[in-house]
Amino acid sequence: MNVVVCIKQVPAKIKIEIDPKTGTLRSGGVDRAINPPDLYALEEGIRIKEKTKGKVTVLTMGPAKADESLKEAIGFGADEVILLSDPAFEGSDTWSTSHILAKAIKKIGQFDLVLCGKQSIDGETGQVGPQLAEALGVPFVSLVNRIEELGEGFIKVMRMSDEGHQLIEMTLPGVITVVKEINVPRIPSLRGLMAAKKAKIPVWNAQDLEIDPATVGSAGSPTRVAKVFFPQRTQKSEMLQGSPESQVEQIVERLRQARAI
């Protein structure tokens, strides 16, 4: 089975700062890592490859330095990696990102299953997986917590739903997003780390993907970030003192006043 895993490189720490002069995000000099939820997609992709004697290709869209995350993916066991990078891709919203990923997957050609993490820890939209499926014209299942069966041209998965879980059969090729419960990611092997060290990371740009730069990135994205700001904390923190009985009385009183209970 040919598996494609899409990963994102994100800030290793989610505490971010806004430059008070420009009002924009300070992202320079921040340590970056593979988006934690994507590690479960990567692990599941590698497990499927091992089971079916297939191949795992890992894609990421990002700046040149995102190649570090692809090297890390090789360490885990990815067979091939591709960095999708072009100044025209900068400022992509989820629509633009999923179209760029779809173009790359079409260029790769034959694939059976695409795996993505549930959402990124920076943007937190959870939209790229489903949008990628639609852009590829293939079916989609979100929040998969177990793969029950890998069949000829289909897959059976358990997904988290509003009422609990649903068992769903999906024809292949298709796209799924996975949650943490699906597996426990391995530690990179020594052999993998050696391979990662030597690896040359192929880069595909807009021209390679036959993408008109005006249709993607900040120029082509349907949505635009008009402003970013820190949330205002309207209430001050209050520490309740006294005996446990008195603390409990105070908290009940406060919550009643706020009509929270």
Partner 1 sequence: MSADSSAIGQIWVVTEQRDGHTKAASYALIAKSRKLADECRSKVVAVCLNQSVKDADQLAAFGADKVYLVGGPILDGWNDDVYVKELADLARRDKPDVILASSGSLGSSVIPRVAVALDTGVAANCISVEFDSQSRMLVQTRPAYGGSLMANIVFPSKRPQIATVRPHAFKKGEPNSSRQGEMIRVDFDRQSVTAKTKLLNVVKDLTEKVRLDEAEIVVCGGRGLGRAENFQMVAELAEVLGAALGTSRPPVDDGWVPYSHQVGQTGKTVSPKLYIACGVAGAPQHLAGMQTSEIIVAINEDPKAPIFEVATYGIVGDLFKIVPLLTKKLREARG
Contacts to partner 1 from residues 6-35, by CB under 8 A = 11, 13-16, 18, 25
**Stretch in the footprint of partner 1 (CB under 8 A) among 57-65, 105-113, 157-165, 192-200:** 157-165
Peptide bond connecting 173 to the previous residue in cis, omega within 30 degrees of 0: yes
* Shorter beta-carbon distance to partner 1: residue 21 or 236: 236
Indicate whether 226 belongs to the interface with partner 1 (CB under 8 A): yes
- ∠ CA 213-214-216, nearest 5°, is 70
Candidate residues 83, 142, 144, 206; the one interacting with partner 1 per rule CB under 8 A: 142
Q: How far is the CB of 233 from partner 1 (least distance, A)?
A: 8
> What is the spatial distance between Cα 17 and Cα 15, in angstroms, rounded to a whole number?
7
Q: How far is the CB of 189 from partner 1 (least distance, A)?
A: 23
Task: Find the binding residues for partner 1 in span 159-178 (CB under 8 A).
Answer: 160-171, 174
How many CA atoms, within 13 angstroms, populate the side-chain half-sphere of residue 132?
Answer: 30
Task: Find the binding residues for partner 1 in span 179-218 (CB under 8 A).
Answer: 179-181
If we measure between CA atoms, which residue out of 55, 29, 46, 79 comes closest to residue 178?
Answer: 46
Residue type, 95: W
> What is the spatial distance between Cα 141 and Cα 237, in angstroms, rounded to a whole number?
41
Indicate whether 240 belongs to the interface with partner 1 (CB under 8 A): yes
